[in-house]
């Protein structure tokens, strides 16, 4: 997935010992299936590249919206917490979603973050980020054993700081 413009270089080799090199700028917001046509290769030749989207490890694209999933405990959903979601590209700030107490009431509920999705090529604005919240058990066996894998990329923080014990 290309969220920001990037440059790439193509070299085309033909059987007739003709080679053609082209630098191409992949523009922000281009979708899979966008066709790039080059007809200055050689008279009678036309080269067409088709942009193809790859899979991302955390985001799925749905039109101009991006979808991701994060898991939190039922107690965090009940008490409220902050979700820190790493953005699609390194030049963007993390997405911070403040969940109010009781805002997420059932497993699989979707929270929408306006303007943090896929960029629109013509208008320059962005689609939405749809965060699916999975609720997991707080029990020692149900939550602690899966904790490492759930927080590998996204972080969840309690809204209220914990009270420090006496030393």
Q: Which residue has the tokens 């490890």?
A: 57
d(CA 98, CA 80): 8
Q: Write down the pTM of the prediction.
A: 0.65
* Cβ–Cβ under 8 Å, residues 70 and 110: no
* Cβ–Cβ under 8 Å, residues 11 and 27: no
Instruction: State pLDDT tens for residues 38-93.
Output: 766 666 677 777 888 788 888 888 888 999 999 999 989 999 999 998 887 778 88
The sign of the dihedral angle between the CA atoms of 97, 102, 108, 112 is: negative
% of the chain with per-residue pLDDT over 70: 66
**Predicted pLDDT of residue 134:** 92
């Amino acid at each position: 997935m290309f969220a920001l413009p990037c440059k790439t270089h193509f070299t085309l080799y033909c059987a007739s010992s003709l080679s053609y090199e082209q630098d191409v700028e992949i523009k922000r917001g281009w979708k899979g299936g966008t066709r790039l046509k080059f007809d200055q290769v050689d008279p009678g030749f036309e080269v067409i590249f088709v942009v193809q989207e790859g899979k991302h490890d955390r985001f799925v694209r749905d039109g101009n919206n991006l979808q991701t999933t994060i898991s939190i405990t039922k107690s965090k959903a009940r008490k409220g917490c902050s979700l820190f979601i790493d953005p699609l590209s390194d030049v963007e700030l993390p997405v911070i979603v403040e969940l109010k107490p009781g805002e997420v009431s059932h497993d699989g509920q979707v929270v929408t973050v306006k303007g943090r999705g896929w960029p629109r090529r013509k208008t320059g604005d962005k689609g939405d980020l749809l965060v699916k919240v999975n609720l997991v058990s707080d029990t020692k066996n149900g939550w602690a054993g899966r904790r490492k894998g759930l927080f590998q990329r996204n972080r969840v923080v309690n809204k209220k700081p914990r009270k420090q014990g006496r030393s």
